Every structure is written in C-alpha cells, then in structure tokens.
Amino acid sequence: MIRKMAYVGFSYLLGLFFASFFISEASLIVSISAVIISIVILKFKGRSKLVYIVCSVCFAIGTFFYISYDKLCYQKVTDYDGQDVVVSGVLTDYTDYNGDRTAYYIDGRINNGVKAKIYCYGEAKNCDIGDEITVKGTASIPKDTFSFGSLKYYKSKGYFLTVNQPEICIFVADKLPVKRAMCRYREYIHDKMRDHLDLESLSLVDAITFGEKSGIADDTKTILYRAGIGHIMAVSGVHLSIVCSLFWFILQLTDLNKFTRFGLILIPMLAFVMLSGASNSVIRAAVMLILVYGSTLFNRKSDLMNSLGIAVILLTVGCPFTVMDASFLLSVTGVIGVGAVAPAIINLLEEKRQLGMISKSLITSAVVSAVVFPICFLYFDEVSVVSPVSNLLLIPACSAILVCAAAVVFTGGAGFILVPLMKICGLCCKFVLVLSKVIGGTHFSYIPVSNKFSFFAIIAAITVSVGTAIYFRKIKLTAIVYTVSCVLCIFSIYIYRFIPSDHIDVAVLKNGSSSAIVINDGKNTSIFDLKKGGLCADNILRYLNRNGIYRIEVLGLLVDSQASVSTYSARCGLYNIGTVICPKSCEEAVYGYIDANYQFYDDNKNAIVTMPDYTLRIRDNNTLVLNIKGCEILAYDGRNATPASGTYDVLVEYAGQKPCETVNGNIQIFSDSKAESVTNKDTDSYYGENVLIRIYEDRFETEVLSCAGYY
C-alpha cells in the first residue's frame, strides 16, 4: 500500500457517501458484511490482501460516523422542528436581498441549550459579521422547492433548522472578528477596482477572485456554465494554487531557509482562504498545499492522492454531511481526474507516440469532465459538452484575471499597480465574456441530464466501468472504459433530445399560491402564467432546462401582465420566444419588452390558441380550457364565478380557496393547501405540488415533480 492515506481517505469517503443515500439499517448491514468478508479474505489469503481489510474498515468507519452524527447531533437539533424557539448566538454571515429582506446565518444555542447553526429570512437590519443576534420564531427543517433543494444544501453546510417569521434583535459587537475585517477589506478592494472596470467585468472579477457571483446577470451566469467555465466562479483549488505558486516563485528567489519560506507562504494562503469565503473546495486545496509545501521541511516527496485522502478526512470530521456538498464532491473528483485518471491515460497513449503540451491539456480537460460527470448529473440540470475545448481557450485568460486581481489584493490597491493591472483585467474579461457567449450561446454546447433517460444512461456507464474495474483490475483499462462510456453516454443523451415523443407533457408549476402551465409536445412549448407577476418564472426556467427546451412558441401572460413581462424579459434572454399573448388592456404597458410577436385579446372575450396537437381557449375570469388528444384540462380561479361547469379530466384551481361545486374532474390540482378542507377526497388530488400530466392517445398519467436531479 504505497498510497496508504489515499486508500484510507477514499474508503472513508465512500462510506460517508454510501450512508448518505441509504437508511441506517442498510448501511450498517453492508458495512459489517464488508468487514467480515475482508477478515475472511485476510484469513485465507494472508497479509498480501491487507489492503482489503483496511479499505473495508475505513468504509465501515465512515458509515458508522455518518449514522452516529445523524442520530446524536442532527436529530437533537431537528427535534425542535415545529416548536417556538429563541436562538442566541453570533452572526457568521448575512446576505441582503431586494425588498428589504436579509438572510441571516447564526452560530448559537437554541433555548440556551443545544448548540446549532441556523439560518432565517427576515426584515433587513443594521448588522455586521460578528454581531450578537437573537432570533425568536417557529423552527422548521428546511424544505425543498422545485427550483432549489434547500434540505440537502443547508444540511451539507451544517445548517439543520430555519426560523419562520422571526423577530430579530441585533447587538453590535465591540470586537472586530477576522472574518469581518476580511469582508471589509474585500469591499475596499472592490471599490478600488470599480473605478476602473465596467459593471459586467467587475462582476466577473469578483466571481473569479472572491467567489461572489451575485453581481453576474442570470443569463451571463448560465452562458458561462454552458461554455464549461462556470467552475471558475466557484473559488477552488485552481485559484489557490495559482496564487500560492506566484508567491512560492518569488520566495524561491530569496535566500530564506525552508522553514521561513513555509511560514511566509501560509500568510497569502490563509488570507486568500478567508477572502474567498472559506468554501470546502478552497479549504481542501489549502490542506493539500500545506502538505505539499510542508513535505519539503522533512525532505519527503508529497503525493497528490495521499494529500487528497488526508484533506477529505479533515474536511468531513467536523460534519460528515459535507459529503453531500456539490462543490466538495466536484473538487475531490476533479483532483482525482487530474492526479490519477488523466496521467494513466496519457501514459498509455504515450507508449505509442509522444504527445505535445496542447494534446495533454486537451486529454486532461476531457478526462476531468468525464470524471465529474456523475456529480454534475446528481446536482445540476445540464452539463457542458464543450468544456474540454473552452477550458483550453478561456482558462488562461481567467488565470490572468486572477493573477492581476490577486496582485491588487495583496498590494492594497496601490495606484501605481492598480491602473495597469485593471486594464489587463478589463481586456481579459471582455475576451472571456464574448467568447463564452459565442460558445455557450449555442444549443449544442450543453445537454440536459435531469430526465429518466439520462439517469439510466449514466447508471449504465458507471455499471460498465465498475464491472471492468472489478473483473480486470487494471487501472488504465478502467480509465479508458470509463471515459469512453461517458462519451457514449453524453452522445446518446444528446441524440435522445431529437427523438419524436409519443405523448404531450403538461406541467403545472407552482410558487406559493401562484401557478403556471407549461405544454410541451416535443416540437413546440407553450407557457401560460396564470397569476401574480411571473412568480413562477424560476420553476418554469428550471423545467425548461431539465428538458433541454430553448424555444418558447407561445408565452401567455394573462394576469398582471406588466409585472410578468418585466420578469420574463429579464429571465428569458437565452430563449427564442415566438408569440407573447396578453390582455388588450395591457397593450401599452407590455409591448416591446420582449423580442417577439404580440397577440392581444379582449379581456371579456374568448381567445383561442391553436397548435398542431392541441387547442387552448382563454375565457373570461382568466379561465383556460385545454384539449389535448381528447383529454380536457380546466384551469380556473376558484375565488371567482366561472362559466365552466361539468366534468373534465383534470382540474387546475390556482386560487386554491373555494372550488366550484359544479365542476368535477378525475385529477384535481390546487395551488393552495387551504383547498384541501373543502375538496372531494374521492378524486386524486394534489395540494401545492408541481405536477406533470403526460398525455398519450388513449390515456394520461400524472406524477409529482420534485427538485431532485431527475424525475
């Protein structure tokens, strides 16, 4: 076992990861069985098979630790779910939102007892990091929505509870915490750079240097991810390595001894970790770099995989739920791709011919993309397929931006260095943004990975790769098979997008008491937002991304159209929109906001939308009647009288207040849970759920849409 800590760390990580997916009993049974089998192998095969028992024991330790932490720590905090609580502690972070709302992140105690980290949304107040804060309200476990998986996200960060409708009291702290000082210094540098960069370039520099993405427009952010360089906005090991390499190069030119050099390199390393928000990926990189630079103190040669194994243990020992964090998993798998898989493939190829630097870089980039692909599938709706090429073109410019910004940060924004470096930054930002729009703006740059076909394709690729590893036990062969399997998987998912469907999907998407309907027949997609100014836009866009839809044939904004069109014009810049349908009374307010044809109808008269495979009638009181292959769907506002009566296959009642007793349906969908108490329980009903209605020639099926990676 040459790489002892690599075996230990990865086996332990696999145990954590396994336990996060399965119930405690199943995890325990598998772990104990693995240890018993390893002992049997050791008994009959001797010490030559010691690696098996070491890996099995570490796997079991990871599983036991995850289960124990869940029982002893997590459940102790979540026992307060639904109770009125008082949380007192220190404000560790906060985020301001429009509308005078702020998200507060608190490290404290619940009812002066259990220590816990909680977050809450409340009225914006004058506060700063390090202030003492007291929050009163009703505690609850974070709940997932269709557009965001809050439970897994906050659990991986160590926040197990939120407080609803909080009463917040802030007590200004006398001391100046390091984190607050770093945040103030970051704001100071931001203000310095703002005088020399346009807003778009400044936002990109903030994202690359500090991981602060809030200033980047949603469309620009999407394009960067589709171009395959979205990872550059999440400060990671690449960023820290570049900064430390720059300082290490300077230190190597001096006559300082190795102990002094090591001490000095820690200063910019730790400062950058704090300035970038101390994310898991940056801390992982810091641990690995400390091991790399520290090995010189003892005249030892560092090993990348051993360092990664140690970093994995250190990062998860405080909270094993970190294993569910997307940035952590992407960081770990990315290092495995760079440090183990890519070199194996390059060495194999170089047995036949020598490869140049560009070829090696392209192979490494492609291999890393393949290695992180399963993690992208679990956490994201789409994956870039052009990242191997785009990274070669854009990463050098992004690295130049980071080096220039880091020089400004560590020189305090001195004028003699600020001006020339910001000019270089500005030019590089323009290059990155323009080229990203060219690459990521095409419909062929990405594939959706959140549908069922993608799930089975990826499972097949992983199964073939694991089977190869177990049967042949050859690293090079396994690496090649895995890479080829991922390429074939991506290609098949891409081709699947163009296969004609035998059904029409009608998605009823909700946000609170707001509702919208998305109709997709495989060729054309229509959206009808039923109320309240486009509040369902986020859910709609996620649904479109999941299904690889980039053209909206009809966009119906039927109520509060001025606010709705403003929302959609800001969010739908990457989509081709054919026709916008609005009430005639909104003509002056909405015309021209969105680049599309406009169709206006009289508020008191019917409007008919005719598509190749279905028809939709808009009636007064914002009532929709949809007829698809003989399946009739009625969407209406239950608070107002509606001219519709009789029996429909599906009812969508988006007011959710008082269903009309003269209307019946096999399936009933309500935006508001208040409708539950007055609804006929004999029908199949959904309350406050996002529902997909899949309509075939002779039948229709329904299912609830979750925020999971696939559905």
The pLDDT score that the predictor gives to residue 680 is: 62
Q: How confident is the model over 608-623, as pLDDT tens digits?
A: 888 888 899 888 777 8
Closest C-alpha to 143, from 709, 706, 711: 706
The pLDDT score that the predictor gives to residue 139 is: 94
Mean pLDDT over 20-41 rounds to: 75
Residue indicated by tokens 């030019």: 427
- List Cβ neighbours of 429 (8 Å cut-off, separation of 6 or more): 197, 200, 201, 204, 205, 401
Residue indicated by tokens 């007829």: 627
Q: How confident is the model over 452-463, as pLDDT tens digits?
A: 788 788 888 888
Mean pLDDT, rounded, of the chain: 83
Closest C-alpha to 548, from 686, 448, 404, 677: 448
Instruction: Specify the higher pLDDT residue, 118 or 371.
Output: 118
CA separation for the pair 484, 454 (Å, rounded): 16
Residue 324 has pLDDT above 80, yes or no: yes
DSSP 152-211: HHHHHHTEEEEEEEEEEEEE--SS--HHHHHHHHHHHHHHHHHTTS-HHHHHHHHHHHH-
Give the distance from CA 85 to its chain's centroid: 30
Token pair, residue 186, equals 């970051």
Which range, 35-39, 270-274, 684-688, is most confident? 684-688
Residue 607 has pLDDT above 90, yes or no: no
Evaluated on CA atoms 207, 211, 212, 215, the torsion sign reads positive
The pLDDT score that the predictor gives to residue 432 is: 92
Confidence class of residue 111 from pLDDT cuts 50, 70 and 90?
A: very high
The pLDDT score that the predictor gives to residue 709 is: 47
The pLDDT score that the predictor gives to residue 664 is: 81
Mean pLDDT over 624-632 rounds to: 91
Q: How far is CA 32 from CA 13, 38, 235, 576, in A?
A: 16, 10, 38, 55
Token pair, residue 326, equals 């997307």
The pLDDT score that the predictor gives to residue 41 is: 66
The pLDDT score that the predictor gives to residue 29 is: 79
- List Cβ neighbours of 473 (8 Å cut-off, separation of 6 or more): none
The 3-state secondary structure of 77-93 reads HHCCCCCEEEEEEEEEE
Residue 694 has pLDDT above 90, yes or no: yes
Instruction: Specify the higher pLDDT residue, 494 or 650.
Output: 650
Residues listed for the chain: 711
Confidence class of residue 78 from pLDDT cuts 50, 70 and 90?
A: very high
Token pair, residue 529, equals 């937002």
CA separation for the pair 506, 256 (Å, rounded): 69
Lowest mean pLDDT among 179-188, 292-301, 452-461, 551-560: 292-301
- List Cβ neighbours of 311 (8 Å cut-off, separation of 6 or more): 9, 283, 284, 287, 288, 291
Backbone angles phi, psi at 46, to 5 degrees: 85, -175
Backbone angles phi, psi at 134, to 5 degrees: -125, 130
Evaluated on CA atoms 649, 652, 658, 662, the torsion sign reads negative
